[in-house]
Amino acid sequence: MKSAKSQLTALGAPAVIFTVAMIAFPVVYTLYLSLEAFSSTGTTRFVGAGNYTRMVQDANFWDGVTITFYLYFLSLALQLVFGTALALLLFRAKRLPGFVRSLFISPFMMPPVVAGMMWLVILDPSLGAANYILTSLGLPPSEWLASPQWVVPTLAMIDTWQWSPYVALIVLGGLQSLPPSVYEAAEIDGASGWKRFWRITLPLLLPTLVTAMVLRSVDLLRFFDLIYITTQGGPANASLTLNIYGFRTGFEFFQLGYASALMVTLSIIVLGVTLVLNRLRHAVAW
């Protein structure tokens, strides 16, 4: 049996070594880098908590936190509402032709970068199709991604377009696993459709919704591709999320130590939100 055990170890070893070398060690190394300052000549100097004290005094950092959470809450709320609505529709349609399903997976399997390129053209303030539609409906045109005021809602809208179908397919799986008997009982009691949804479907669906929230939260808090390809944090830093700010600090200004401190902080935020949502998931489990 001893050789059986060593063979199993040998099978698992490459993955463990790779995980340690490429995932675990770099995380520890970032923690160390976050205690250093990099000069423009490439030399490093140990500054202890210096990067972190700089961070709490950095207005860009606090703005980044605010923008990150603004974008996060707005996108998450929109995606949960639209995703659940779409799931209920798909569920009532019962037999779903395969091509309909393919249609709804296409937004989120498209690279976010391509979605960004696509929407850049559609939302172009002067020649885009979106403003043409708005003005033909008698509405005022918008600057969309070029407006400091509207850039975050616009990014949230694009992300909602891309990921609501994903939330919908997760929720649809939850709907399909609900016991039919509760509906039949509710119908015998004469509960209306609206009441059935609020009193029965939604409470039973909560664990699935929280799972979808966890999955989307992880992506939304570190939102990167779409912002970087469309605005790089602009205009006037209005979409400079913590992740974008950290990336630019590291790879445009090469302040690798300070960027590490920012990324460690963002990772702790992601971890914290995930842990809170996981507790919530246990609380609503049935």
Partner 1 sequence: MSSLATRPSDRLVTIIDVVLLVCAGIAVLAPVAWMVLSSFKQSYEVTAYPPTIFFEPTLDNYRSLSETTPFLQFGLNSLIVTIGSTLLGLILGAPAAFVVSWTRVTWPAIVTLLARMAPGTLFLLPWYVMFRQVDMIGTYWALILTHAVITMPIVIWVLLPFFDNIPRSVFEAAQVDGCSPLRIFWKIALPLVASGLAVSSILAFVFSWNYFLFALVLSNSDTKTLIAASFNFIGEGSTNWGGLMAAATLIALPPLILAVIVQRWLISGLTLGAVKG
Q: Which amino acid is at 269?
A: I
103 binding partner 1? (CB under 8 A): yes
Q: How many residues interact with partner 1 (rule CB under 8 A)?
A: 93
Q: How far is the CB of 140 from partner 1 (least distance, A)?
A: 16
Burial of 235 (0-12, 13-18, 19+ CB in 10 A): middle
Q: Which is nearer to partner 1, 114 or 276 (CB)?
A: 114
Q: How far is the CB of 79 from partner 1 (least distance, A)?
A: 13
Residue with tokens 């210096």: 50
Task: Using the Cα atoms of residue 32, residue 33, residue 39 and residue 43 in order, give the sign of their dihedral.
Answer: positive
The answer to whether the beta carbons of residues 248 and 233 sit under 8 Å apart is yes
Rounded Cα distance between 218 and 182, Å, is 33
Q: What is the SS3 assignment for 177?
A: coil
Q: Which is nearer to partner 1, 92 or 282 (CB)?
A: 92
First-to-last alpha carbon distance for the chain, in angstroms, is 42
Site for partner 1 in 35-54 (CB under 8 A): none
Q: Which is nearer to partner 1, 49 or 182 (CB)?
A: 182
Stretch that binds partner 1, among 5-13, 57-65, 73-81, 138-146 (CB under 8 A): 5-13
Stretch that binds partner 1, among 52-60, 72-80, 110-118, 147-155 (CB under 8 A): 110-118
Each residue 83-102 as x (binds partner 1 by CB under 8 A) or -, in order, gives: ---x--xx-xxx---x-xxx
Residue with tokens 């209920």: 88
247 binding partner 1? (CB under 8 A): yes
Stretch that binds partner 1, among 45-53, 69-77, 125-133, 145-153 (CB under 8 A): 125-133
Stretch that binds partner 1, among 7-15, 59-67, 71-79, 145-153 (CB under 8 A): 7-15
Site for partner 1 in 182-221 (CB under 8 A): 183-184, 187, 193, 208, 211-212, 214-215, 218, 221
Q: H-type helices in 177-284, by residue range?
A: 180-188, 193-196, 202-221, 225-230, 242-251, 256-284
274 binding partner 1? (CB under 8 A): yes
- Per 3-state DSSP, the chain is made up of helix, strand and coil in percentages (nearest 5) of 75, 0, 20
Rounded Cα distance between 48 and 41, Å, is 20
216: Cβ contacts below 8 Å, ≥ 6 apart: 75, 76, 79, 80, 163, 167
150 binding partner 1? (CB under 8 A): no
Each residue 162-181 as x (binds partner 1 by CB under 8 A) or -, in order, gives: ---xx--xx--x---x--x-
